[in-house]
Amino acid sequence: MRVGVICFANTCRSPVAESLLVRFLAGEDGVEVFSRGVAGGPGSTPEAMLQALTQNGLSLVSVSGEQLVSDDLHADLYLFMERSILREAVVRNPSMWPKSFTMREFARRAQLNPPERDSETFAEWLAVVHGTRRREELLGTDSEDDVRDPGLGGDLEAFNAMISELDLLSHKVAQILTGWPSR
C-alpha cells in the first residue's frame, strides 16, 4: 500500500506527518509513505520547526520540498493537510478524487465506516468510504478538516502544536492502515 501525505510546499506539515506515520507503521509490511507539496520546490525547514522536532524526539524521514509529480499518482491513498490543497490537486488530476481525503476527514470517515479486513481489500473499503462523500464538499473555505500551517514565520509554540495535532491524527490513521491482508 502506497500512501502520499500532501501539503502546500512540503516543508512543514506533510514531512512531519510522513515521519510520524513511518514511526507508527514500523514493522507493517507493504506500506510505503511519502510526502509531497503541490507548489514550490526545495525549501528550507524553518528553525523553529527543527527545534520542535528535537523537543518531540522526531526527525524527518525524507528531504522536504518535493513537489507532487505524475509518478506519484499511483498511490492507494492521499492524505492532504487542508481542503484547498486537496481541491487543487483533484482539479489538476481528477483520478485522485476517490483516494484523496484531508487527514482529519479520513480519520473521521474511517471511524464511521470501520473496515472489515477479513472480507474486503483496502481498495474495496476505501471505495465504500469514498462513496459517503460528495464532490461539492471540496468547495468552500471551511477549515474544519485542515491542519493549521505554522508557515515559515511560525514560532516554536505553533510548530509544537502542529506536531501534537499530527501525532494524534497519524496514530489514528496508522491504526486504520494496519492489519490489511496482502491480496
Residue 158, domain member (yes or no)? yes
Distance, CA of 161 to CA of 170 (rounded, Å) = 14
CB-count exposure of residue 157 (10 Å: 0-12, 13-18, 19+): exposed
Q: What is the per-residue pLDDT for 29?
A: 87
3-state secondary structure of 125: helix
What pLDDT sits at residue 26? 92
Q: Is residue 41 part of a domain?
A: yes
| 74 part of a folded domain | yes
Whether 182 is in a domain gets the answer: no
Per-residue pLDDT of the chain (183 residues; tens, 9 = 90+): 999 999 998 888 999 999 999 999 998 888 999 999 988 666 677 889 889 999 999 988 876 778 888 888 899 999 999 999 999 999 999 999 999 999 999 999 999 999 888 889 999 999 999 998 988 888 777 788 999 999 768 899 999 999 999 999 999 999 999 988 765
- Predicted local distance difference test score (pLDDT) of residue 43: 67
Closest CA to 77 of 137, 31, 114: 31
Dig out the grid coordinates for 118 from the structure: 477479513
Domain total of the chain: 1
- The rounded distance, in Å, linking the Cα atoms of 73 and 116 is 26
Q: What's the pLDDT at 166?
A: 97
In a domain, 183, yes or no: no
The helix/strand/coil state of 78 is: strand
Residue 75, domain CATH: 3.40.50.2300
Asked whether residue 132 is assigned to any structural domain, the reply reads yes
Indicate the SS3 state at residue 139: coil
What is the domain range of residue 97?
2-177
Residue 104 is predicted with a pLDDT of 95
